[in-house]
Amino acid sequence: MRSERKLAGLGVLAALFVLMLLAASCGGGGGDDGGGRVSSGDDDADDDGDDDGGSGDDDGSGDDDGGGDDDGDDDDDDDDGADDDTEIAWVTIPAGEFVMGCSTGDTECEDHEKPPRTVILTQSFQMAATETTQAQYAAVMGSNPSHFASCGGNCPVEMVSWDDAKAFCEAVGGRLPTEAEWEYAARAGTTTKFYCGDDEACLEDNAWYELREGPEARTYPVASKSPNAWGLYDVMGNVSEWVNDWYGFDYFGGRPNPDTDPPGAGSGTARVWRNGNYSSFAENVRITRREGAAILSPEQLKGFRCVK
C-alpha cells in the first residue's frame, strides 16, 4: 500500500512537472508571439512605417521625398519653371506724358528722330516684361523659326516678320505696341539717351550689344541684364523690336505738339522697328533709335514684344 501511495505521489509529481513544462513551453510561445509582435512590431513599424511613417522610411527617405523631390519638382520647381518658359509676364504701364524723339543733348540722333515733341498717352496698358521667347512663340504658333534656336527656349525669337509678330500677339489676346507706347515704356520716366543714363558705360549691365564676331555674336536669354525702372528687360539690345506703326521718315515733323495717343503714319511700305540688337554699336541702342523695314522681312536681328 505504501509503495502504491508512493507511486501515486510520484505520478502526481510527474503530472505537475509535465504541466510546469507545458506552461513554460506556452510562455516561450508567448516569447515567440512577443517576438512575433516585436517582429511584427518591426514589420508593422516597417509596414506601417512604409505606409505611414513611411513614410517614415520613404519619407525619411527622403529618398521618396527625394521622390518628394519629384513632388517638389513636379509641384513647385520644374513645372513652375516650365510654365515660366511659356507664360508671358505682363507689366502695367501707367498713362502719362513724355517727350518723344531725340533726347536733350544727344548729338547722335538721326533726322527721323526729330523734332522731339510731348506725347500724351491717356490709357494705361500692359506690356510683356521680356521680348517674346522662342519657347513662347513655339507654344502658340507651333514652330520656332529662330536662326539662333540653339540658344534655347528662353532666348528671344527672331527671324519673324511683322505679320508673324502681329499674329502671335493677337493669338495671346494682345497686339503690337504703337511706336509711342514702345518709347514711353522703354524710357520708363527717363529723359536720357539710354534708360540707364547718357554714358554708354552703363550699357554693360543693361544691354547685349556690340557682339559682332565669333561665337558671342548671337542672341542671349531674356532678362539676363538689368531691367528699366518699370521692369522691362532688353529694350536696349539683344534683338530689335517690331511695333505696330507704318514707318514715315518725316512723321515726327508732321505731328502736333503736344500729341495725344498718336497712332503712327496712316500708310506706308514699311513698318517701324525700334532700338538696336546684339550686334549694334552703342549709338544704335539709344532709346530713340528707329528704323523701318518691309513687312515680310524676317531676319535674325528682329523680334518683338506684345501689349494688351
pLDDT digits (tens, 9 = 90+) for 253-272: 889 999 999 999 889 999 99
Residue 224's pLDDT is 97
| 111, pLDDT greater than 70 | yes
Mean pLDDT of 279-283: 97
196 within 8 A of 102, measured Cβ to Cβ: no
pLDDT reading at 195 higher than 90: yes
What pLDDT was estimated at residue 5?
42
The average pLDDT across 185-202 equals 98
- At residue 116 the predicted structure's pLDDT band, cuts being 50, 70 and 90, is very high
Would you state the pLDDT for residue 85?
81
Q: What are phi and psi of 222, to 5 degrees?
A: -65, 155
Per the listing, cell 536720357 goes with 192
8 A C-beta contact, residue 223 and residue 295: no
Percent of all residues in the chain with a pLDDT value above 90, rounded to a whole number: 69
pTM check: above 0.75: no
In the numeric block, the cell 517638389 is attached to 72
Give mean pLDDT, residues 101-115: 96
Weakest-pLDDT range from 39-48, 94-103, 166-175:
39-48
Output the pLDDT for position 297.
87
Q: What residue type is 279 in one-letter code? A: S
CA dihedral 63→66→67→73, nearest 10 degrees, is: 180
Amino acid 97 reads E
Cell of 120: 500724351
| CA separation for the pair 202, 56 (Å, rounded) | 55
Per-residue pLDDT tens over the stretch 45-100: 333 333 333 333 333 333 334 333 333 333 333 333 334 489 999 999 999 999 99
SS3 annotation, 263-308: CCECCCCCEEEECCCCCCCHHHHCCCCEEEECCCCCCCCEEECCEC
Across 162-178, average pLDDT: 98
Cis peptide bond prior to 256, omega within 30° of 0: no
* DSSP helix/strand/coil, 83: helix
Cis check: omega of the bond before 115, within 30 degrees of 0: yes
